[in-house]
Amino acid sequence: MLPVALESLIAALKTLCATFPDRRTGGNTVYEMADIGLAAFATFFMQSPSFLAHQTALARGRGTSNCQTLFAMDRVPTDNHIRSMLDPVPPAALLPMFDKTLGMLEVGGGLAAFQRLDGHVLIALDGTEYFCSQKLSCPNCSSRARANGKTEHFHAMVSAALVAPGHVRALPLEPEFIVPQDGAEKQDCEARATHRWLAAHGPKYARLKPIYLGDDLSSRQATCEAVQAFGSHFLFTAKPSSHKTLYSWLDGAEVPAMENRIKQGARFVTHRYRWLEGLPLRDGKDALLVNWLEIEIADHAGKVTYRNSFVTDLAVSKNNVAELAACGRARWKIENESFNTLKTKGYNLEHNFGHGQQHLSAVLATMNLIAFAMHTVADLVDAAWAAARAAAGARRRFFEDLRAITTYLVFPTWAALLKTLGYGALPPAIPDG
Ligand SMILES: [Zn+2]
């Protein structure tokens, strides 16, 4: 456990934000780019649209605020200023933070909890829309026609996250934004963005022995080969409707099967597995040979309640088919834990800062993912944070407490704040300014 995980990650973010391009000229540079970046980040990290306003009010009375003490800022810029200064920043400028959060997880001993299938990690890739409007738009919006004749503008990304079955946390990795690409004839799409993600980040993550998880769109030969190009593995959903050749080979073949009865409450459910190795992924002589597995869950009355099937380049046998299926199913976690959290649990985008005309929407989405990554790392490797979370009970309650207490009190350090939340320690006295 690392008592200073948060401080060092916030310091790293400050260093990174200081390198943002600053297009101001002349004397209009009261606020450093580092303050501007950290101010946006703090809003997401505290999950409080009014955090900056409260801190500005605190600073008026006390001469300092939690922006200075907890987020290492010098001054607190306004929402309007943040919007106009962050809009030109390319989101790629923030990506090094994902290495820092993963590095902190590793140093703090939190990576082992994500390892499955004999030392592999699971990286789930998924397409997610994070903005949609018929009114607001920017040149980086994608668009589509709606049935009512109106045009809908949206932003989407391929998100990536470390996930593991049976593990309640997910760690976001770098996103790849789906945006109109220079010189491309067709609108950008999830498959292209997935390939860009793999080309940009796949080689770096190969050391973690990743197994990539993806939906039925991913289980195409080009994507499987892109994963294998640097020695990594895939475990992708493969539906019968989009893999006719593969499924025609299954017909009439002798397919190994097994089932486990699992106690769920007072009743038993049945997990049935089937698998077969060496099937062609598609038609044609150059088809990649893959291994296939299926899981079917039946309730106590024998009614099938869940069925899914996957293709992988990992060997499948009765010894590992249940764990492989559990890993394949862990992909839902990226949706449930990363993005439902982003969308519904207080990480709302755009509440303060608007949509922008260049990169603002993607920059804020990235800030949000970094806040989520830092929460995950703090949950897993920061003992004081974990104790404060445990003391609050539900996640929502923890952030309510965090918001409330920092509205009225200035804490000199995260350690002091977390000690008050976690162990009921008296808040340290800060002299009135
Ligand atoms: Zn836009």
**Whether pLDDT at 154 is above 80:** yes
**Whether pLDDT at 51 is above 80:** yes
Tell which residue, 113, 312, 111, has the closest CA to residue 211.
312
Q: How far is the CA of 92 from the centre of ligand 1 (A)?
A: 17
**Whether pLDDT at 417 is above 70:** yes
**Whether pLDDT at 249 is above 50:** yes
Q: Which residues, including other chains, have CB under 8 Å from residue 365's CB and lie 6 or more apart?
A: 91, 130, 131, 155, 157, 175, 177, 349
For residue 174, what pLDDT band results from cuts at 50, 70 and 90?
very high
pLDDT, position 345 = 47
Average pLDDT over residues 36-63: 92
Tell which residue, 259, 374, 382, has the closest CA to residue 321.
259
Q: How far is the CA of 192 from the centre of ligand 1 (A)?
A: 19
pLDDT, position 343 = 58
For residue 423, what pLDDT band results from cuts at 50, 70 and 90?
confident
For residue 352, what pLDDT band results from cuts at 50, 70 and 90?
low
pLDDT, position 420 = 94
pLDDT, position 433 = 45
Q: How far is the CA of 226 from the centre of ligand 1 (A)?
A: 29
Calculate the CA 382 to chain-centre distance. 19
Q: How far is the CA of 138 from the centre of ligand 1 (A)?
A: 4
**Whether pLDDT at 347 is above 60:** no
> What is the spatial distance between Cα 243 and Cα 172, in angstroms, rounded to a whole number?
30
> What is the spatial distance between Cα 10 and Cα 34, in angstroms, rounded to a whole number?
11
Tell which residue, 131, 33, 122, has the closest CA to residue 73.
33
Instruction: Please answer whether residues 328 and 213 qualify as being in contact, where contact means their C-beta atoms are separated by less than 8 angstroms.
Output: yes
Average pLDDT over residues 250-264: 94
> What is the spatial distance between Cα 244 and Cα 311, in angstroms, rounded to a whole number?
13
Q: How far is the CA of 41 from the centre of ligand 1 (A)?
A: 20
Q: What does the buried/exposed string (b/e) look like for 328-349 if buried means 16 or more CB atoms within 10 Å of the residue's CB?
A: bbbbebbbebbbebbeeebbeb
Q: How far is the CA of 352 from the centre of ligand 1 (A)?
A: 16
Q: How far is the CA of 176 from the centre of ligand 1 (A)?
A: 15
Q: How far is the CA of 357 from the centre of ligand 1 (A)?
A: 7
Q: How far is the CA of 23 from the centre of ligand 1 (A)?
A: 21
